[in-house]
Amino acid sequence: MLLLRSFWREPAPEPPPGRRVRDLALAGVLLALIALEAWLRTDLAHRAVSVVVTAGLVPTLLWRRSRPALTVAAAFSISALVPLLIDGGKAEMYATAYLLLLPFSLYRWGSGRAMVIGSGLLLASLGFSLGTGHVSLGDSIGGAAVLTAVCALGAALRYRGRARQRELDRMKLLERENLARDLHDTVAHHVSAMAIRAQAGQAVAATRPEAAVEALRLIEAEATRALAELRSMVRVLRRDEPADLSPQPRIRDLERLAGRFGSGPEVRVRLDGDLADLPSAVDTAVYRLVQESLTNARRHARHATRVTVSVTAAEDEVRLRVSDDGEIVPGRRAEPGYGLVGMHERANLLGGVCTAGPGPERGWLVTAALPRKAPAA
């Protein structure tokens, strides 16, 4: 009973995809096939009714994701009642196979309540057709088997998509926590500097008032930076966990990644522009993006001999480009991994963008642009 109650209350996947251009194209293709079948088939009884019913149910495909239970109820109820209107005859066309998309969508996008109601309507439709003698027992069993397989496929894709979404959410949350730890370390550094300046100002206030004023000016500058970092940390912090106080890497540390390590490709690093006085979150983020890009290149680049890292500081942003000279496998479609999800998340949290994909000529290309100033909280 508890399992049934949990299934009944299961929410629909959020958000269901809206109507797409390919849905309209599918409807157009089906209408053309229905017309072609009606023209070519000589054994089709009740031709007019068959065409009208089969073509009239095509629009249900346009709402199969947003209203899965309603479309199943409409399509299968009409299909079961039509034989009564033509004195027990059959108005069946091969093109009606497209109706299997409706129970598939019911289990892929419907809520638990919709799945229960829709399944009941499907069974009722089969039972009604069997009871009125419009289909044989063998046909009913075969139809039930097909519907079960279609529904099982929809449910499998539903839970596979949900599992992947949970993993993506976990990776995004992990990236938020990592960024929050980086920012925590930066804020701790600024606060420590303020404390040291304040102590120094107190020590010399009596003998050198101008030194105390200078200390106050430096404290104000450090406090301003600390507040900016705090605003960024509040935006991304999600869990109350101890922060790692180890020193965070910066852009200047990228030169340590240059060279060749083992049998991997050679790494070349080029730094251009004014990279001083960057917000520590941006400074560390560039290093992390390069680090993840190099990890991906060493693991997945095919026959790569060189990876080029270029960091350019402009007036309002820092641009990153990481490319390798590996081979691109023809026909192979790259799917975004969890490391790439973390890279996109880190860049977005800082108000920047990060893109990754095949290079214009060879290998893989990662580009990013991060603002020099932290976004407003």
DSSP per-residue codes, 308-334: EEEEEE-SSEEEEEEEE--BPPTTPPP
User: How many C-beta neighbours within 10 Å does residue 258 have?
Assistant: 14
Q: Could you give the CA distance from residue 110 to residue 70 in angstroms, rounded to a whole number? A: 10
260 and 225 housed in the same domain:
no
Helix (H) or strand (E) holding 267: strand 266-272
All residues at 6 or more sequence positions from 186 whose CB lies less than 8 Å from its CB, including other chains: 229, 248, 280, 281, 284
Same domain for 51 and 16, yes or no, is yes
Same domain, 6 and 129: yes
Whether residue 154 lies inside any domain: the answer is: no
Is the domain of 204 the same as that of 277? Answer: no
Could you tell me if 214 and 268 lie in one domain?
no
Residue 149 lies in a domain: no
Domain with residue 268: its CATH number is 3.30.565.10
| Residue whose tokens read 């520590």 | 280
Interior/surface letters 56-84, b for 16+ CB within 10 angstroms, e for the rest: ebbebbbbbbbbbbbbbbbbbeebbebbe
Which helix or strand (DSSP H or E) is residue 141 part of? helix 137-204
Q: What is the pLDDT of residue 142?
A: 85
Q: Is 154 exposed, middle or buried (0-12, 13-18, 19+ CB in 10 A)?
A: buried
pLDDT tens digits, one per residue of 222-247: 676 666 666 655 555 544 444 444 55
Q: Choose among 256, 329, 263, 336: nearest CA to 291.
A: 256
| Its pTM surpasses 0.95 | no
CA distance 355 to 31: 40
Instruction: Please answer whether residues 343 and 302 qualify as being in contact, where contact means their C-beta atoms are separated by less than 8 angstroms.
Output: no
- Residue 25 inside a domain? The answer is yes
Structural domain for 185, as ranges: 174-236
Q: Is there a single domain that holds both residue 70 and residue 110?
A: yes
Residue 151 placed within a domain: no
- Split into its structural domains, the chain has a count of 3
Contacts of 28 (CB under 8 A, 6+ apart): none
Query: Does residue 164 form part of some domain?
Result: no
Residues 21 and 123 in one domain: yes
Residue 245 lies in a domain: no
Q: In whole angstroms, what is the distance from residue 302 CA to residue 324 CA?
A: 10
Task: From 72, 104, 135, give the residue that closes a domain.
Answer: 135
Closest to 140 in 3D by CA, of 124, 153, 119, 155: 124
Q: Which of 135, 166, 195 is the last residue of a domain?
A: 135
Cβ atoms of 82 and 93 within 8 Å: the answer is: no
CA distances from 136 to 33, 132, 142, 146, 301 (A): 27, 10, 10, 15, 58
- 342, 174 Cβ separation under 8 angstroms: yes
d(CA 145, CA 76): 16
Residue 159 forms part of a structural domain: no
Residue 15 lies in a domain: yes
What percent of the chain stands above pLDDT 90? 14
Q: pLDDT tens digits for the chain (377 residues)? A: 666 677 677 777 877 777 788 889 999 999 999 999 888 887 777 788 888 888 999 999 998 888 898 999 999 888 888 777 665 555 578 888 899 999 999 989 888 888 888 888 888 888 888 887 777 788 788 888 988 999 999 889 888 888 887 887 777 777 676 666 666 666 665 666 666 667 767 766 767 777 767 777 777 776 766 666 666 555 555 444 444 445 567 888 888 888 876 667 888 999 998 888 788 778 888 988 888 888 777 776 777 888 999 999 888 899 999 998 887 655 444 455 567 777 887 888 788 999 988 888 778 889 999 998 755 43
- Please check whether residues 192 and 256 belong to one and the same domain: no
| Same-domain pairing of 23 and 55 | yes
**Residues 8 and 125 placed together within one structural domain of the fold:** yes
Examine the domain organization and report whether 290 and 184 are in the same domain.
Answer: no
CB of 38 within 8 A of CB of 51?
yes
Q: Which two tokens stand for residue 288?
A: 């992390």
Q: Which of 135, 160, 194 is the last residue of a domain?
A: 135
Report the C-alpha gap between 114 and 118 in whole angstroms: 6
